[in-house]
Amino acid sequence: MTTEARPHPLYAPVAVPLAPSVPPVPPGPPDGGRADRPAGHDAGLRAARRAARAAAASVPAPGPASAAGPASAPVPAPVPGPAPRLAPERLRAGILGGAGAVALLWGVQARPSARLDAFFATGAHLAGLLAGYGVLVLLLLMARVPAVEHGVGADRLARWHSRGGRYVLGLIAAHTVLALCGYAVHTRTDLLTATGDLLSYGAIAAAAAGTALLTAVGVTSARAVRGRIRHETWHAVHLGALLAAALGFVHQLAGPDIAGGLPTRWLWSMAHATVAVLLLWYRFAVPVRAALRHDLRVAEVRDEAPGVVSVLVRGRGVARLRAEPGQFFRWRFLSRGLWATALPFSLSAPVRDDTLRITVKVRGDHTRRVRRLRPGTRVLASGPYGALTAHRRTRRKVLLLAGGVGITPLRALFETLPGGPGDMTLLYRASDEGGLVLRAELEAIARERRAALHYLLGPSDGSYDPLAPRALRALVPDLAAHDVYLCGPPAMVRAATASLRRAGVPAARIHAENFEEPARA
């Protein structure tokens, strides 16, 4: 039995101008490089983006759904101007450059010596400085600075944060062992006695407490543990990282590398103060200010398919949030059982009439409560976040590849990305027809835009793989000339990415962003 989603009147698909004035763009080189693109390529993309902004400002808001098509009521123009973005390459270069500066600071102060205790102490100083710098980087990556979130992407930031956390714990362990060995050699005592002596110093005791907190954060973040604890518990433990950073800062100021000169103490203190301000501003002050400014409240909750609901959230001046199709917010619904958890859900339609829409699959306790939300419930939304937006586009032709409820951000892109007939293709992977979410809206958009829409149905463990390279090329013959936007379950995204690479799509043109929902959502 097939269950078709009925579009909400506000979000009935709107005919998007097909931008006939955009000049055709020849396919680029197979390696996706920029230096040798045809001269018309960048001009074509700029024209396409201008057409997208013009379309967003002039698209009529639909009235009640009717066979005659959408109504022509005007929509307030969105806030002009793109959000600032920091490219991943620049952020990576900045992080590595900072690590180099820290190593240079160590090298300037290092005093070569053939003594064993001096050798251990010198190594401990380097590991400790890099560990302190690493903690600052980890906090910065999770500060939710808009330019970083929009340019790098939440999923990549989370991966860098996770990988960096392992490096930092390793550096802290190295610092601890080298410092103990150096002190034991210098005082000619055993390691146990050396440990007791060192812990008698207040700054070192503070560092030990901070290390214990960071170790707890690392343990609860391990995949084997993360899925067994509640999100609220995991979040509470992670707040301990802030205290750990403060305790580590106390220890660093007492050490010879930072305490050795006023300029060094000043720079190190300013770095910590800057990260602290960014954390307080973007993690706490900005969401509270947005809640007061926009007064977001649940307007409606409606069933879309078995186990899938859409939530419409309405407020004041929502366009000032500058939310782009493909992005997500972290939603905190102020109702029983939900107020303590920020749930990450993508927008499943463009912003219209001061209304945001998310579409949620019921999977656990939190999402079951979302389904029971009442109109008027106040909402705190932080964001928008994510880089799965039109700015990643580099080619005229675009393939959108979705799996399950991963259709939500791609549905918004399917409607809004500029292009002419034949430029847009959507492949939607689901186990059966009942798993197709927002089907009626997708089909209406495909008709309006004269875009290709294919449903890839069948069990994930079936004998036929619709995401195999040959199958993808059969559906999209010029696949290698496309940009690909990809969203779905992690296993599906990994398999699809591997198939796309084997089918000739360069990695730089595969745009995927995945964020894990809180445990037991």
Q: Which of 465, 503, 469, 488 is nearest to 402 (CA)?
A: 488
> Cα separation of 88 and 513, whole Å?
14
pLDDT of 185: 87
pLDDT band at 81 (very low <50, low <70, confident <90, very high): low
Is the Cβ–Cβ distance between 486 and 497 less than 8 Å? yes
> Cα separation of 415 and 447, whole Å?
11
Residue 453: C-alpha distances to residues 71, 397, 422, 479, 481 (Å): 25, 14, 11, 15, 18
pLDDT of 502: 92
Record the pTM.
0.72
pLDDT band at 311 (very low <50, low <70, confident <90, very high): very high
Q: Which residues of 67-100 are buried (b: 16+ CB within 10 A; e: fewer)?
A: eebbeeeebeebeeeebebbebeebeeebeebee
pLDDT of 517: 47
pLDDT band at 515 (very low <50, low <70, confident <90, very high): low
pLDDT of 83: 64
| Strongest mean pLDDT among 21-30, 148-157, 348-357 | 348-357
pLDDT of 425: 93
Assess whether pLDDT exceeds 90 at residue 319.
no
Is the Cβ–Cβ distance between 438 and 411 less than 8 Å? yes
Mean pLDDT of 130-148: 91
Q: Rounded to the nearest 5 degrees, what angle is found at the Cα of 439, between the Cα atoms of 437 and 441?
A: 115
Tell how strand 355-361 and strand 308-314 pair up: antiparallel
pLDDT digits (tens, 9 = 90+) for 452-473: 999 988 887 777 888 899 989 9
Assess whether pLDDT exceeds 50 at residue 68.
no
Mean pLDDT of 233-253: 84
Is the Cβ–Cβ distance between 373 and 301 less than 8 Å? yes
Assess whether pLDDT exceeds 80 at residue 231.
no
Assess whether pLDDT exceeds 50 at residue 54.
no
Look-up of token digits 């910590």: 272
pLDDT band at 414 (very low <50, low <70, confident <90, very high): very high
Is the Cβ–Cβ distance between 438 and 407 less than 8 Å? yes
Assess whether pLDDT exceeds 80 at residue 46.
no
User: In one letter, which amino acid is 13?
Assistant: P
Assess whether pLDDT exceeds 60 at residue 236.
yes
- In the sheet with 308-314, reading across from the earlier edge strand, the strands are 297-305, 308-314, 355-361
Mean pLDDT of 20-33: 37
pLDDT of 356: 94
Mean pLDDT of 161-184: 90
Assess whether pLDDT exceeds 50 at residue 25.
no
Assess whether pLDDT exceeds 60 at residue 16.
no
Which carries the bigger pLDDT value, residue 164 or residue 39?
164
Assess whether pLDDT exceeds 50 at residue 303.
yes
> Cα separation of 450 and 399, whole Å?
14
Q: Cis omega before residue 74 (within 30°)?
A: no
Residue 357: C-alpha distances to residues 7, 149, 301, 325, 477 (Å): 12, 21, 10, 11, 34
Assess whether pLDDT exceeds 60 at residue 77.
no
Name the percent of the chain lying above pLDDT 90.
26
Q: Rounded to the nearest 5 degrees, what angle is found at the Cα of 97, between the Cα atoms of 93 and 99?
A: 120
pLDDT of 316: 92
pLDDT of 259: 58
Which carries the bigger pLDDT value, residue 291 or residue 73?
291
pLDDT of 42: 39
Strand partners, 426: 400, 453
